[in-house]
Structure 1
Amino acid sequence: MIKGILSVALTILLAGAHGQVTSPKDITGKISGKLVDSATNFPLQSATVTLYISGTISPVDQATSDTSGNFKFLKVSFGNYTAVIDLVGYRTANIKNIIVDYKKQVVDLKLVYLSRQATTLQSVTVNAQEKLIENKIDKLVFNAEKDITSQTGVATDILKKIPQISVDVDGNVELAGSTNIRFLINGKPSTIFGSNIVDVLQSIPANQVKSIEVITNPGAKYDAQGTGGVINIILKHNTIQGVNGNVSLTTGTIVQNGSVNLNARKGKFGLNAFMNGNARLSTTTPTSFQRLSTDTVAKTYVKLNQDGSSDFTRYGFQTGIAFDWTITEKSGISAGLNYSRFGNHAKGSINQSEEEHKTDGSIFSKINSINNTGNAFTQYSFDPSLNYKHSFKNKEQKLEIGMDGSFAHNLKTADNDQYLQPQDSLIYGTRNNNPAKENEYELMVDYIQPLHKDVNLGIGGKFSGYDISSTANALVWNNYVADYLYDAALSNNLNYHQKVYAAYAELSFPIGKLTDAKIGGRYERTQVNSFYANAQQTIDKGYNTLIPSIFLMRKIGERQAIKLNYTIRINRPGYADLNPFINTSDPKNVTTGNPDLKPEVWDRYEASYTNDFVKNGSFMISLFYRQSNGDIQPFIVYYPTIQVGDTVYTNVAVTTRKNIGIEKNMGTSLYLDLHINEKLNLRSNITYFYRYTINQVDPGYNSTGNIYRFNVNASYQITSNFATEIFGSYNSRHHEAQGNFPSFTSYSLAVRKLFWNKKGSVALTANNIFSKYVDQRTDLYGPNFLSVSLRRIPYQSIGINFTWKFGKLNIKNERPEDNNPDPNAY
């Protein structure tokens, strides 16, 4: 590296001493042209023109056409180039064999004609590319790097702004009314999402997210897993020649993070490396809990009161390296290896009062105690991937082969010490330790075969495996020996192996001039083998799932579209649901997993209408109906007394996950984007749905409820380098099988200043600045119990972010396609 720096310095000195001598390498050329509509001859503004060295897939420069349709490239090295021209609503044009040399240093392409895009199912974009949200035929894309208020936060701060997504105060994500979501990073799965989604999303800095793709009704090509749909988080990655990247640092009163992203590309080979870290500083959450429970046998009732607080911290770290290599003009490979580590820790104290009353109201007994609790979770994961792509002479014909893996180790601990008052003597205590291994791996093949003009057949297959090895060891305080002894009843082992064999076929075709269609089917064979030590039982079973998918789309003119689709989604329980680890850190409120959970299946219908107002914004409305069988929900069972091994627990509620029954959701979602003028933009999303749950576990405890959510975002571009934004959201109180869960309101203010020719920026963000806490009240009930809990969660925060981008940036096209532009384009 030192030799390289000395060489550059020597070159500069020699150039200064001999300024009259020009090296052949210093001679460059110029390419220019003008874009016009092939039908009207009107100039075309804001088209993206990307320049490639012929035979490569890596861009070397990019330009945008001005109000007169003109574009130009300055200082172009001698060589043979291909220019790819993209504009929403027009067919992509390729101009090949653009030669810049000594004889022709200035190349004028003159008039380049673009023809309007014919309607195709796979490439309809309602919103213009420069907009924050793009609504495509089968997914919605949120361009996160254009957002202001998210820059100092984490991935969940971006998600809460996207239509049909809601995020609660704890960071739990819900899509289209379901928390069961298939999360991907750069299109690939990871075990880290299965263990603790909240921690993972909180560990990804928002400024490292390029865009987020939301697919509420995935087609046959996608895995059926994820009843809410698919959320694909795409991290920033630049494909331009040379070295580029960014550095970002955020400090705040609650969240702090930092990240480095580096891209290097020369010719047909590219390399990317990244590193980011995130920490949530320690915050104190006051809590209170009251439960009234009835013992019908003893004819008594118990009042349980708990008041306390808990200190909570979280951290995350991720790093990775990836490369891509263009073997030939039609084929290339890419590979990567990521490492992730994250965790959280909570420590608290609870003042507890337990009063047992007779039926006449008199107090039978009263016990006061103090509980000191602690919980922690850590995980690290290695995620390798390898991918091969090959395209053919026909641009629609493609082959892709991929292998992905994710191999994780995690550790969960939970401690509790209960002291009787006023003697302050230890009467109960536990030490729980739960290490586990979690592995996920898959091999997939996808192939697209054109059958006719605008008729394509996609076929493919996938094998995926999911393995869990979990050991839970529990120690319980023994008063006789004054020590913690191993408890075999609370300790257990779980070995779980799941294999899924899948194949799909998907046909895209027009139905005359009426509509475009994409119809497919996916077959999945799931084989499960599990062993639960405490039950001393091996479960070996398999089941078949056939998933149809239908997508219909009709364009009305160039700006409006109507879409209809139907598919089936499935939720296979993951490690967090199945883990039989019994958490007795609060012996009055015990939690555990359920190894006997069965998959839930959802039928999903959706219809939508979109209208693009061009410069004035856009509008989208969706109607949906979704029904599940074997719906999985958290479920509480109250026990006056329950014995686990040698330990007898009294007045305890056990929370686990169960297949509740049938759930039906019907509702609508509206999205509005208004460009009031060149500086002021307004966006809003409103979602409403009616939920009906048929409780088949506790017959007679069916539930209904109206759920609504909305957010509004206003951004104002004060100058070209200075902008401000306000965002607010509200999630209503909602009803589930066993009670009411709290509403949530949040708001944020942000300003961002660009400098250093827009390569540097400073952003200041404030969240919920007028209130330190967000109060969360939950009311739950079931046979023989009624409870009310209140958490006061610290949410008020201020953060400041600094970001520096270096090198050439913002190249969007990853490779030229062999499209057939208008013949007059040359």
Structure 2
Amino acid sequence: MKKLFPLLLILALQPIFSQTPQGERGRGNGQGPRDATPIKITGKVLDKENDIPLEYATLVLQSVENPDQISGGITDLDGNFNVEAKPGKYNISIEYISYKTYRLPNQTLTASTDLGTIRLALDVAQLDAVEVVGEKTTVEVRLDKKIYNIGKDLTNSGATITDALNNVPSVDVDVEGAISLRGNENVRILINGKPSALAGFGSTDALTQLPADAIEKVEVITSPSARYDAEGTAGILNIILKKEKTLGFNGSVNTTIGYPVNSGITVNANLRTDKFNIFNTTGYSYRDAPGNAFFDNTYTSGSFDRIIEDREYNRMRKGFNTNLGLEYFITEESSITGSVFYRTSDSEDSTENTNQRFIDSAISSETFRTEDETEDDENYQFSLNYVNNLDDDGQKLTVDLQYSKGEETKFSIIEENNTVPNQNLLVLENVYEIESENEYLVQADYVLPMGDSQFEVGYRGTFEEDVTDYRLDSLNQSTNQFDINENLTNMFTYTENVNALYTQYGNKFGKFSFLLGLRLENTQLKGQLDSEFDTTELEEQLGVDVDVNFDKNYLGLFPTLNFILEIAENENISLGYNRRINRPRGWFVNPFPSRSSRTNIFQGNPDLNPAFSNAFDLGYLKRWDKLTLTSSIYYQRETDSFERVQEETGQTTTDGIEIIRSIPINLSTNDRIGLEAGMMYNPTKWLRLNSSFNFFQFSTEGMFNGIDYGANNTSWFARFSSKVSLPSKIDWQTNAFYRGPSQNAQTESKGIFSLNLAFSKDILDDNGTISMNVSDLLNSRKRRSFTETEFFTSESEFQWRRRQITLGFVYRFNQPKERNRNGRGNGPGEGGEEEIEG
């Protein structure tokens, strides 16, 4: 029945959509009698710089004899148009938002005509004749997204994907690597349009181990269309990776070395013929990330009035990743692409914590705690993609299959000793944690052009199982043997199954474009516990009546509406609306406490329900010869929003310290309103300036365990980038970022400023480039915050990674510096790949 549904839907809607366009074409062109035999005008529209298809580009046919009579059509997913018209004389133009219009005046059309391939150029500041696409950063505006071509960002040399995202407007990455969009951390991360093992199955940790120079562009999708998964109340970040499409064998080698230790090598290789395309990216990295933290805590109860913690972190990361794919062109109209991705990493983290306890301003005792953790990750992914252009009219069928598996093994040794007034062992613990994830994805998408409009329907299913096996052994000093802590040892299985049907319809009338979509999603969330833990005691700890073994089912409709009005050729206004969902991840609902220390634990909440949001976005874009301005006002209302709160557990350690628990809860509402603006200014050939600003205000309200966690917050962040081309082929880039103060229900955070510098020089006949990058030049990227509750206060400072200096060298073989990045087909890493995401 599920297979028949898309076909039945198309057949049912076909008469409705097909009546009006045909009638309008018969009356609207003003050429000849109404019963004249129509002719067909066909062609293809591509981006001139990247050769990627431009969907929803407009063919305009204006009658020369009667200029008020205008007809035409729009392009499909592959950039093809196929429009009927009466024979006559026309002024022909091809228009696309943010691109220069292509014109063919006074064309006499007496028979069906193929206009061939038409390449449109971005309407940006004029560049020197020898300048190439890969050198600049540009923005493209689509009906449902903004596309930022990263260009040759010098600060990406030796950096990770996470570092590169911090240079994208609307995006912020905090000192711990958490990614947020417009200040909201519930953002969906996709790689080439799909969930991927590269992104760590929802976690962003893997992005800190992959090189930034693998990125070709980033799509910021704040008003996602119906083909995208409804997950992520903030929106979607779709990372498109590079893949060379030039005929023959070509590629590049990129090496880096830095201090603190930051070394790596990445090799890209591509072999392309007229019948197939083989591509591979392989990389190895070794990074050291020293950091530090300081906490000054005061208590209203317990054995101590004040506790000061001074922490030193040292994190070693070794990682290997490879991606091998084959794209085979079955016919001129169809292709199949298979790829295998494998990633393994080995991490060793060491944390030293000096802890001073005070009673009445005098030191009562001092302890020294060490935590040594090893972590081994292994992920692999198999993908199969089939594309078939069913006919010359633009019908298209895409099928996508994907299987991903990941396993993460952690082992930690935690030892804490008294140093003042006596030296003795307090605790020695061994923590074992194994997390296994399996995910299946099935996707089918069908596109049907209908005259001037386009209809799309599809199905997407994701089936994910996450198993966490957690065990804690504590040393029994009386027996000198390790005992299993049954209260903290458990196995938790979390299952998330999502089935979705979606449809969308797009059209354009004159200067008005729209895209309407509707998505039906069924979400099943299941949790199962295997443990000796007393569930009655667990419910008492949680403070709510919950079922630790649960099976929840949600059925929801998620509409999307996107509109664009072209005020002028280089100016437009956009309006978007969408409904989204935030599903809790496995560790958010796992009720067994896991500890970052003896005194701080995190406990999931099985009673946590998905959050839903309704978001509106009003945007404005204006282009001048040398200046591009983008801006928008947005509003989002989220119900049952997640909030992590801290509270007393009523328990103390053996030496009398209050144990504090963090737990996620569903608050009642979260209202967010904001304003953002971006500017790209190229006043001369040797200077480029980019800046962006985002201001937002949000308020939350809700109660938990009798405490009001409502809060109001106003914050902002801004970034500025300048790139100067110096003599002797030397480039100099400066990136500055500032995030203003913020707060939630319990914590106030101070502003953060960071500054990056980078230099590069082309050598070896422009086949090679050497670079130097200084990240966080002032060593100021630190999170400083103050937390206050009824039972304690905490003033803290945290630095994830100290200032980093990196030297890099890239060598390109059989590959021009400008990189003809895209061509035929829709293999992984191309702009076409994101179109299959549902």
- The TM-score, its normalising length taken from structure 1, stands at 0.80
Tell me the equivalent position of 1:603: 614
Within 5 A, what are the aligned runs for 1:714-753?
A: 714-719=722-727, 721-753=729-761
Aligned residue for 2:378, secondary structure, equals strand
Letter in 2 for 1:669: E
Tell me the equivalent position of 1:762: 770
Residue by residue over 1:690-716, the C-alpha shift from the partner in whole angstroms, topping out at 9 and shown as x without a partner, is 111113226433211211111111111
CA separation of 1:794/1:389 partners in 2, compared to 1, >3 Å: closer, same or farther?
closer
Distance in 2 between the 1:280 and 1:114 partners?
47
In angstroms, what is the RMSD of aligned CA positions?
3.0
Tell me the equivalent position of 1:786: 793
Tell me the equivalent position of 2:368: 370
Aligned residue for 1:758, secondary structure, equals coil
Q: Compute the displacement of 1:685 (Å).
A: 0.3
Tell me the equivalent position of 2:528: 531
Residue by residue over 1:136-176, the C-alpha shift from the partner in whole angstroms, topping out at 9 and shown as x without a partner, is 22222222242222123111222111110011222221112
Tell me the equivalent position of 1:307: 310
Distance in 2 between the 1:816 and 1:315 partners?
34
Q: Which has the higher strand share?
A: 1
Tell me the equivalent position of 2:638: 628
Tell me the equivalent position of 2:282: 275
Q: Compute the displacement of 1:241 (Å).
A: 1.4
Q: Compute the displacement of 1:389 (Å).
A: 0.4
Q: Compute the displacement of 1:375 (Å).
A: 3.4
Contact 1:125 1:135 in 2 (8 A): no
Q: Compute the displacement of 1:775 (Å).
A: 3.5
Distance in 2 between the 1:49 and 1:566 partners?
30
Residue identity (%): 24
Within 5 A, what are the aligned runs for 1:44-83?
A: none
Contact 1:286 1:310 in 2 (8 A): yes
Letter in 1 for 2:429: T
Tell me the equivalent position of 2:267: 260
Tell me the equivalent position of 2:250: 244
Distance in 2 between the 1:313 and 1:134 partners?
36
Q: Does residue 510 of structure 2 align to residue 505 of structure 1?
A: no
Letter in 2 for 1:523: L
Tell me the equivalent position of 2:512: 515
More deviation, 630-639/460-469 = 630-639
Q: Compute the displacement of 1:86 (Å).
A: 12
Distance in 1 between the 2:308 and 2:772 partners?
42
Residue by residue over 1:452-489, the C-alpha shift from the partner in whole angstroms, topping out at 9 and shown as x without a partner, is 21x11110011110101121111012122122211111
CA separation of 1:495/1:116 partners in 2, compared to 1, >3 Å: closer, same or farther?
closer
Tell me the equivalent position of 1:8: none
Which of 570, 578, 582 matches 1:567? Answer: 578
CA separation of 1:127/1:136 partners in 2, compared to 1, >3 Å: closer, same or farther?
farther
Aligned residue for 1:328, secondary structure, equals coil
Tell me the equivalent position of 1:385: 383
Contact 1:584 1:590 in 2 (8 A): yes
Which of 490, 494, 497 matches 1:496? Answer: 494
Q: Compute the displacement of 1:579 (Å).
A: 4.3
Aligned residue for 2:163, secondary structure, equals helix
Letter in 2 for 1:586: S
Within 5 A, what are the aligned runs for 1:281-300?
A: 281-283=288-290, 285-295=291-301
Q: Compute the displacement of 1:196 (Å).
A: 7.3
Aligned residue for 1:149, secondary structure, equals helix
Distance in 2 between the 1:193 and 1:393 partners?
36
Letter in 1 for 2:340: L
Residue by residue over 1:479-520, the C-alpha shift from the partner in whole angstroms, topping out at 9 and shown as x without a partner, is 22122211111101111222111000101022x436211111
Q: Compute the displacement of 1:815 (Å).
A: 2.8
Tell me the equivalent position of 2:328: 325
CA separation of 1:114/1:269 partners in 2, compared to 1, >3 Å: closer, same or farther?
closer
CA separation of 1:378/1:628 partners in 2, compared to 1, >3 Å: closer, same or farther?
farther
Residue by residue over 1:64-120, the C-alpha shift from the partner in whole angstroms, topping out at 9 and shown as x without a partner, is xxxxxxxxxxxxxxxxxxxxx999434699xxxxxxxxxxxxxxxxxx999898xxx
Distance in 2 between the 1:452 and 1:667 partners?
39
Q: Compute the displacement of 1:594 (Å).
A: 3.4
CA separation of 1:127/1:597 partners in 2, compared to 1, >3 Å: closer, same or farther?
farther
Q: Compute the displacement of 1:793 (Å).
A: 4.7
Q: Compute the displacement of 1:436 (Å).
A: 1.8
Within 5 A, what are the aligned runs for 1:614-653?
A: 614=625, 616-641=626-651, 650-653=657-660
Contact 1:475 1:487 in 2 (8 A): yes
Aligned residue for 1:778, secondary structure, equals strand
Within 5 A, what are the aligned runs for 1:94-133?
A: 130=133, 131-133=136-138
Distance in 2 between the 1:739 and 1:678 partners?
46
Distance in 1 between the 2:361 and 2:769 partners?
67
Matched length: 701
Letter in 1 for 2:644: P
Distance in 2 between the 1:475 and 1:339 partners?
33
- Structure 2: tracts of 5 or more residues without a match: 1-46, 53-93, 105-114, 127-131, 536-547, 827-838
Q: Does residue 569 of structure 2 align to residue 558 of structure 1?
A: yes
Distance in 2 between the 1:451 and 1:198 partners?
41
CA separation of 1:200/1:470 partners in 2, compared to 1, >3 Å: closer, same or farther?
same
Residue by residue over 1:745-794, the C-alpha shift from the partner in whole angstroms, topping out at 9 and shown as x without a partner, is 1111111111233221111111233x345442221122322111222454
CA separation of 1:505/1:758 partners in 2, compared to 1, >3 Å: closer, same or farther?
same
Distance in 1 between the 2:391 and 2:201 partners?
44
CA separation of 1:304/1:793 partners in 2, compared to 1, >3 Å: closer, same or farther?
same
CA separation of 1:776/1:271 partners in 2, compared to 1, >3 Å: closer, same or farther?
same
- The TM-score, its normalising length taken from structure 2, stands at 0.78
Letter in 1 for 2:383: S
Tell me the equivalent position of 2:235: 229
Contact 2:175 2:782 in 1 (8 A): no
CA separation of 1:124/1:748 partners in 2, compared to 1, >3 Å: closer, same or farther?
closer
- Structure 1: tracts of 5 or more residues without a match: 1-45, 52-84, 94-111, 118-122, 818-826
Tell me the equivalent position of 1:438: 437
Aligned residue for 1:146, secondary structure, equals coil
Tell me the equivalent position of 1:807: 814
